[in-house]
Chain A
Amino acid sequence: MPTQSDDLLWISSLRFLLKHPWQLALSILGVALGVAMVVSIDLSNSSAQRAFSLSAEAVAGKATHEIVGGGEQLSEQVYRHLRIDGGIRNAAPVVQGFGRLDGLARSFQILGVDPIAEGPFRDFSSQESGIDLASFIQGSATGLVSNPVLQELALEVNDTVGVSVGGVVVPIRIVGTIEVANERTEQALESVLVVDISTAQRLFDMRGDLSRIDLILSAEQQEQQDQLQIIRSLLPDGVEVQYAGSSSETLAQMTRAFELNLQALSLLALLVGMFLIYNTMTFSVVQRLPLIGRMRALGVTKSEILAMIMREAVLVGLIGTMVGIASGIALAQLLVRLVTQSINDLYFVLSVQELTITPGPILKATLLGLGATVLAAFWPAREASEAQVTTVLKRSNRESALMKRLPRFTGLGIVLGLVGGSLLLIPSGGIVVGYISLLLVIIGFSLTIPACMVGLASLFRPVLGALNGIIGTMSVQGLLSELSRTSVPVAALVVAVASTVGVGVMVDSFRVTVVSWLESQLQADIYVQPPSSVARFADAELLPELVEVLQQTQGVERVHSVYSETITANFGPTNLVTTSLGALAQQTYEIKRAESGFWDRFPNQRVVMVSEVYAYRHSVSLGDTIQLQTDKGLQEFLIEAMYYDYASDLGSVTMNREVYDRFYDNRAISGLALYASEGTPVEVLVERLRERADGLQEVFIRSNRGLREASIEIFDRTFTVTYVLRLLAVIVAFVGILSSLMALQLERAREHAVLRANGMTPGQLWNYVIVQTGVMGGMAGILSLPLGVIISYVLVYVINLRSFGWTLEFLVSPSLLFQAFGLAVLAALLAGMYPSIKMAQANPAHALRSE
């Protein structure tokens, strides 16, 4: 209602807010914390995505299509055939892989190209851009990096840098730099090392093979179809043409569930933030009800009052959002590293050097922050506009109203909870539906909190009465007589603490499951692996002579090998694990379901087993067939067993080596498991093996226990980002409790003054306030436990399953629950501290006189 009176009403608002800086600061903090979480997660995710798409764009160049082989490799014969017999010109061979540059703590994409063919594809690696062919293509291990990378390395052109690939270090002479034209290019090339194709083939031990062939086909549909037809006719079995983006798209899709989960966690924080805003805005309104009543008497309309409070909310929302965005950006600097680390451990190599601040997340956070504030402030504002015009405020009206509405409130809560619960039962519901029902359950539960408090009060009252006499009873009664105001901070507290419980239980359950899975998975005594770029995959290979040497070490009784590679299946890129165990695999693999007689067929027939995650992702089950691109063309295999596997959320397909060798020409090995002979201590054998491996290849040789510890370490690292988010949620919860309870007590200054005036000593008042907040903390702590368990149950059995397809053991550790309860009570007690000290010191007359 913009009238001329705006100014004075607004000035009045502003003075009120500034007169209560604590409350203002707490409201702003509530918004800021929520927004900061959302912004930081969003920015980390989008930075990771951008880094990924930029480097994908850089290495894909202007290619429209690419030719890929059935396995990870493609014979270069295909390229020769295309060029010479097919006369296909817009084609460029690529050998690509990952490695590390000495002195830089990140993985580099090593892009092996033929500069002569590069022109139409990638300007930075083409002959036309000025690459000196003489030094580049002669196979003398030379490469190009971007200028900023060279500076980072503190090297000059013609210096040599050690490049480590799969445990082998190769010196590469930098013969030139890629001059980047803009920041985007700089970012795209910040982790790219360009080498000649011959150099790359040697680095990755891929002589005779390519990673892919890039193509540029006509944009015109018919022409493109014709070109495709010609090209396809030139390709051998198992080799395919696909859109250039499709493999990087698939890669990006892998992380979608992971990112969605992080986002959901950050939204949970915003939800808690909303409770805080609602709470502080309510206080600020309630405190002013007499003032507002007077304004109403003077002729200020309801809508003017509503607008006044909403404007305050907008101001708080704006400041809070801005503070939140600023701190969110700061927080994102930390999170982006954790997110990247997790992606690197779980999915693919990604290096994010800097945070990219894009308008999207900022805009989203602004809308969310402002929206949440306005939404949360709407009810207090409406309440303010309903303030009685009479000069004397009778609060009991409102209280009796809530008491009267309590059954309705509780009923609504139960209904919402049930709706949420039944949504979970829809089996086809996606992750988003899962989160919506989780949200409904949380809101439903919070609506029942006033009723729960009434119930709990009847438990607390006699206990505290016995312990603390009349003050104990009064404390509990005080909560109920102002239920409409005490229930909000308690609800906020419950949601905040419960979400930390939920996430905590989820991670705990996950960890316990993985640990016990590792126990059964790791049957051999010693494991040998080359260092790989993605922690939870084996993507590097063992040198054959090393395998030979290790096998023939004294004290090794028997050995089995694994090989893992990404191949193309009818379901898309698939991690194919090959084991040489044959039927013995039944001792190591934890089978979820298997066809009868599976182990008789596994060693040498066309059967495979898939991990449950793989089965879930691609909705396959026993008896289905899977088509794999092999060196003998597309081949069908029967899925006859499903096993538990927590190593990757992308799932894998396992085949016996004997079968593999029939369809693939690749003889590589990416891991060895060794059994020590009777009487040889494992540690001694590990040492012996290390000595023998020395100088051949840098590999990890670890005992069973060592590998288990290393695996758990990687697991924990993957979840670091979750731990950090949980910690942040705890902080939000803590601040929330602190702020709302403190505000509540500060607001009761007058009541406390009356108590003091009536002869309560400062000590007794202190006792009264502390006990009261303590009771609220205790109630919140108790109520957060069931909600926390419900949340974790949903996270483990619905969200996790729908995101990743894992079956987890559900494990609620008592210590976690105690911790949550303790957190609630501790925060509540701390919150009582300041007001009670303040009150004890203050002159009661002053408080009585005011207003």
Chain B
Amino acid sequence: MRNSNIVDLRKLNKSYDEGTKKRHVLRDLELEVAQGQMLVLLGRSGSGKSTLLNLLSGIDRPDSGQVMIDGTDISLLTEKERTLFRRTHIGFVFQAFNLISTLTAYENIVLPLRLQGKKDVATEQLALHFLEEVGLADRKDSYPDRLSGGEQQRVAIARALAHEPSFILADEPTGNLDYKTGSKILSMLADLVRKNGRTMIIATHDREMGQIADRVLELQEGQLQEYKAIQES
């Protein structure tokens, strides 16, 4: 059933004006992601990866087509509705960590929860729990600029998981980290996602990441090609 899919993209088109001519980034793109799946989305720079992620997260809208997330077609929502949707359904892990520099590690994790209106003790414990899970319980009151790159990304991972989103979008999560740290972070991310039964889409140009994924897709010429299908278990 379609409804069981967390993500359901149909005939997605998106193009940008570049001076006088139009560049078609996505052409009739289709994608279904089921609950609990972990996808790796490959693509070279300029292939439209970021565009796709923006559409998935409701930051941008398609020219045409359907973006069904957890049963809601977010392409039909207003800007504000999409923002509120994003608040509750999507967790982000960015390449540039994107922590709020004026909030501590702990506060950064709490922010999405607070945005959802959760203010109870359970929320705080949840945040602390995830901070512990990423091994930074002792750094909870540190500001982002006091943390190393790896630590910052670990905070970002905790933040993405803490508010229990429908799925997590990770955009080059190891892009700003050295190889060793990157690998460690990636496995931590994968472990935590699986442990919590989350769905995740990782956008990257690093083919190695395919190893941890259930499915690997590549964006080429505005369409998706699947390399590694779901292995029935």
Contact = CB atoms under 8 A, between A and B. Distances in A.
B80 A19 contact: no
A637 B89 CA distance: 91
Which of A8, A297, A298 has most chain B Cβ within 10 Å?
A: A298
Interface string B190-216: 000000000000000000000000000
B202 to A, nearest CB: 16
A303 B78 CA distance: 13
A8 B114 contact: yes
B86 interface: yes
Which of B54, B94, B102, B112 has most chain A Cβ within 10 Å?
A: B102
B90 to A, nearest CB: 8
B98 A297 contact: yes
B117 A4 contact: yes
Nearest to B165: A299
Contacts of A291: 100-102
A299 B98 contact: no
A100 interface: no
Contact of A300 (B83, B88, B94, B101): B83
A301 interface: yes
Contacts of B115: 3-5, 298-300
Interface string B90-120: 1010111011111100010011101101110
Contacts of A761: none
A851 B145 CA distance: 8
Contacts of B98: 294, 297, 391
A16 interface: yes
B102 A12 contact: yes
B145 A299 contact: no
Contacts of A301: 80, 83-84
B57 interface: yes
B51 to A, nearest CB: 10
A298 B112 contact: yes
Nearest to B90: A299
A7 interface: yes
B100 A4 contact: no
A628 B110 CA distance: 84
B86 A299 contact: yes
A233 interface: no
Interface in A287-308: 291, 294-303
Contacts of B99: 294
B92 A298 contact: yes
Nearest to B83: A301
Interface string B45-62: 000001000100101000
A279 to B, nearest CB: 22
Contact of A297 (B92, B101, B107): B92
A461 B95 CA distance: 40
A391 B83 contact: no
A208 to B, nearest CB: 83
Interface in B6-65: 50, 54, 57, 59
B54 A299 contact: no
B79 interface: yes
Contacts of B110: 8
A850 interface: yes
A186 to B, nearest CB: 54
A851 B59 contact: no
A140 interface: no
A294 B100 contact: yes
A401 interface: no
B140 interface: no
A677 interface: no
Contacts of B50: 390
A203 to B, nearest CB: 73
Given A5-B111, A8-B110, A298-B112, A16 B83 contact: no
Nearest to B95: A391
A426 interface: no
A181 interface: no
B139 interface: no
A518 interface: no
Interface string A440-458: 0000000000000000000
Contacts of B118: 4
Contacts of B145: 850
B87 interface: yes
A299 B94 contact: no
A7 B83 CA distance: 19
Which of A299, A301, A302, A303 has most chain B Cβ within 10 Å?
A: A299
A636 B23 CA distance: 89
A302 B86 CA distance: 13
A16 B50 CA distance: 29
Given A5-B114, A5-B115, A391 B84 contact: no
Contact of A390 (B59, B87, B102): B59
Given A4-B119, A8-B107, A299 B83 contact: yes
Interface string A107-132: 00000000000000000000000000
Contact of A7 (B80, B94, B114): B114
A299 to B, nearest CB: 3
B88 A299 contact: yes
B103 A12 contact: yes
A845 to B, nearest CB: 14
A395 interface: no
A8 B88 CA distance: 17
B5 to A, nearest CB: 22
A8 B111 contact: yes
B141 to A, nearest CB: 13
A11 interface: yes
Nearest to B50: A390
Nearest to A296: B83
A302 B83 contact: yes
A12 B117 CA distance: 17
Nearest to B117: A4
A747 to B, nearest CB: 15
Contacts of B57: 297
Nearest to B112: A298
A302 B79 contact: yes
Nearest to B107: A8
Nearest to A294: B98
B87 A11 contact: no
A15 interface: yes
B102 A299 contact: no
A299 B80 contact: no
A271 interface: no
B225 to A, nearest CB: 26
A32 interface: no
A5 B117 CA distance: 7
Contact of A303 (B54, B80, B92): B80
B103 A11 contact: yes
A8 B106 CA distance: 11
A16 B102 contact: yes
A509 to B, nearest CB: 53
B231 to A, nearest CB: 33
A837 to B, nearest CB: 24
Nearest to B98: A294
B80 A302 contact: yes
Contacts of A5: 111, 114-115, 117
A842 B223 CA distance: 48
23 contacts: A4-B115, A4-B117, A5-B114, A7-B114, A8-B111, A11-B103, A15-B102, A16-B102, A19-B102, A291-B101, A291-B102, A294-B99, A294-B100, A295-B100, A297-B94, A297-B98, A298-B87, A298-B115, A299-B87, A301-B83, A302-B79, A303-B80, A391-B98
Given A297-B59, A300-B83, 14 more contacts: A5-B117, A8-B114, A12-B102, A13-B102, A15-B103, A16-B102, A298-B115, A299-B115, A300-B115, A301-B83, A302-B83, A390-B59, A850-B145, A851-B101
Interface of B: 50, 54, 57, 59, 79-80, 83-84, 86-88, 90, 92, 94-96, 98-103, 107, 110-112, 114-115, 117-119, 145, 171
Give 7 nearest A-B pairs by CB, closest first.
A299-B87, A15-B102, A5-B115, A12-B102, A5-B114, A299-B86, A389-B59
